């Protein structure tokens, strides 16, 4: 019966030229390819992936989606992203398992509540549902919470964001790959980009270990590896620091958490998957490394901290732990740009741990940018030049600093 299932995407020979080459078969790359084909009729596109699609951050994130960030530049992008999941589920004919469970972000001090007031007001101003709750209301939303004075940092309130939730990340990778392949995009897995060639100030070709490809457009969407590709192959240094971020899951438990619960003070978050496992994570060792190694110190940290505000999880056993790469910028906002360092070169990187929730919507606008050559207004604040012009975004709430020179 397994033979009845057709492959979702086809393996095709590498052509000698494409209208666009996308480096990185992750969600940002696949989404851009998909929307190039869907919205702009540019189907002669290659997605070049060194390993296999979804190998990097696309398959390692904890699948949380939300639109309650901090700045007016970021919020509209994430709002649109939330609206896209149901649309894509229908259109790709692939269940992305969008579980619209809502997110509850806990505050443990007056200062944190004050910061939340600003965040809630920003969200509401842009028409996003986000509300401030007192501890009792938090407990009504998530009955498992300990709102007593027992924890080291008692809960003083929370920011409740009903439109957020969970999306099955692998399904998005597979669904988009299927959509791409049906529209004629070539997905070349196990193919490494080894060089980028320029002619008369324009991008002209890409060298791969399966031959040279001529193309007028190249998108660098290689996630944790994008900054290295930029500096090695494009001659463009970026303000990016690549760190390993870790996450883990417990054994499956009976349903007890129906929301994503997160805490800045404890620096962790938790949600329960449809299988019953508690997914929890957030920690990064604050020095650049590409190891994706997991650490014992972090398992201990996580067990201690998650059981502070969810004491019922005491005794639950961790089953799996894994690491992925987060490409951090000094202002926790991405770098999206075009025609740097040469005409035809596009950048979509520096997403840190926001890459999953933003992937599809960024792909849609990046496709427009690549097709028309003009940067859509919504992407303009993310240009690389902001660092030179001292216009860094206020996305970081200064709790942690993961910038390159932290």
Partner 1 sequence: MAFTITCPICGPRSGYEFRYGGQDKGPRPDPAEMTPETWCDYVHMTDSCPGVQKEWWYHRAGCGIWFTIYRDTTTNLEVSPDSPEAVA
Residue numbers at the binding site for partner 1 (CB under 8 A): 225, 227-228, 230-232, 237-242, 285-291, 293, 295-297, 327, 330, 387-389, 404-406
Q: Which residues pair with 278 in a beta bridge?
A: 272
Q: How many angstroms separate the first and last alpha carbons of the chain?
A: 55
Question: Whole-angstrom Cα distance, residue 380 to residue 365?
Answer: 11
Q: Show the tokens assigned to 119.
A: 């965040």
Does residue 220 contact residue 226 with C-beta atoms inside 8 Å? yes
- Nearer Cβ to partner 1 (98/353): 353
Does residue 176 contact residue 85 with C-beta atoms inside 8 Å? no
Residue 226 CB, nearest approach to partner 1 (Å): 9
- Nearer Cβ to partner 1 (6/390): 390
- Nearer Cβ to partner 1 (125/290): 290
Residue 187 CB, nearest approach to partner 1 (Å): 24
Question: Whole-angstrom Cα distance, residue 192 to residue 24?
Answer: 9
Residue 341 CB, nearest approach to partner 1 (Å): 12
- Nearer Cβ to partner 1 (143/286): 286
Residue 296 CB, nearest approach to partner 1 (Å): 7
Does residue 277 contact residue 253 with C-beta atoms inside 8 Å? yes
Cα torsion 50, 332, 278, 294: sign: positive
Does residue 232 contact residue 365 with C-beta atoms inside 8 Å? no
Characterize the bridge pairing of strands 345-349 and 218-220: parallel
- Nearer Cβ to partner 1 (218/238): 238
Nearest to residue 272, comparing CAs of 287, 256, 288? 256
- Nearer Cβ to partner 1 (189/294): 294
301 torsion bin: left (phi>0), alpha (psi -120 to 50), beta (else): alpha
State which H helix or E strand residue 323 sits in.
strand 318-328
Which class for 11: exposed (0-12), middle (13-18), buried (19 or more C-beta within 10 A)? Answer: exposed
- Nearer Cβ to partner 1 (40/301): 301
Provide Rg for the chain, Cα atoms.
21
Q: Show the tokens assigned to 382.
A: 């993310």
- Nearer Cβ to partner 1 (281/330): 330
Residue 192 CB, nearest approach to partner 1 (Å): 13
Q: Show the tokens assigned to 180.
A: 């791409």
Residue 208 CB, nearest approach to partner 1 (Å): 18
Residue 98 CB, nearest approach to partner 1 (Å): 33
State which H helix or E strand residue 59 sits in.
helix 57-60
Residue 288 CB, nearest approach to partner 1 (Å): 6
Residue 141 CB, nearest approach to partner 1 (Å): 36
- Nearer Cβ to partner 1 (105/329): 329
Question: Whole-angstrom Cα distance, residue 47 to residue 45?
Answer: 7
């Amino acid at each position: 019966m397994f033979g009845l299932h057709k492959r979702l995407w086809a393996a095709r020979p590498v052509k000698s030229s494409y209208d666009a080459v996308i480096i990185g078969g992750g969600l940002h790359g696949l989404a851009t390819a998909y929307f190039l084909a869907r919205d702009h009729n540019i189907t002669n596109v290659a997605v070049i992936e060194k390993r296999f699609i979804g190998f990097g951050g696309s398959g390692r994130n904890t699948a949380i989606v939300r639109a309650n960030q901090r700045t007016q530049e970021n919020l509209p992008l994430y709002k649109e992203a939330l609206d896209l999941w149901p649309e894509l589920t229908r259109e790709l004919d692939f269940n992305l398992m969008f579980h619209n469970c809502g997110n509850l972000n806990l505050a443990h001090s007056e200062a944190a509540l004050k910061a939340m007031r600003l965040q809630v007001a920003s969200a509401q101003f842009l028409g996003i549902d986000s509300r401030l709750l007192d501890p009792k209301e938090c407990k009504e939303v998530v009955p498992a919470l300990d709102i007593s004075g027992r924890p080291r940092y008692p809960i003083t309130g929370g920011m409740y964001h009903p439109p957020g939730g969970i999306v099955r990340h692998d399904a998005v990778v597979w669904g988009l790959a299927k959509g791409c392949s049906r529209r004629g995009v070539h997905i070349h897995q196990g193919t490494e980009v080894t060089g980028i060639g320029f002619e008369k100030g324009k991008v002209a070709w890409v060298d791969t270990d399966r031959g040279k490809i001529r193309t007028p457009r190249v998108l660098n969407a290689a996630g944790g590896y994008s900054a290295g590709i930029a500096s090695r192959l494009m001659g463009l240094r970026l303000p990016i620091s690549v760190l390993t971020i870790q996450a883990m899951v417990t054994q499956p438990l009976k349903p007890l958490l129906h929301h994503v619960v997160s805490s800045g003070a404890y620096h962790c978050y938790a949600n329960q998957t449809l299988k019953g496992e508690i997914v929890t994570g957030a920690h990064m060792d604050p020095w650049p490394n590409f190891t994706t190694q997991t650490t014992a110190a972090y398992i201990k940290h996580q067990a201690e901290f998650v059981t502070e505000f969810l004491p019922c999880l005491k005794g639950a056993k961790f089953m799996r732990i894994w690491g992925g790469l987060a490409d951090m910028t000094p202002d926790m906002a991405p770098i999206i740009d075009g025609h740097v360092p040469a005409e035809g070169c596009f950048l979509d990187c520096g997403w840190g741990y926001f890459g999953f929730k933003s992937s599809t919507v960024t792909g849609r606008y990046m496709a427009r940018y690549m097709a028309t050559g003009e940067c859509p207004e919504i992407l303009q604040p993310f240009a690389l030049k902001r660092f030179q012009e001292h216009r860094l975004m206020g996305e970081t709430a200064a709790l942690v600093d993961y910038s390159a020179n932290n």
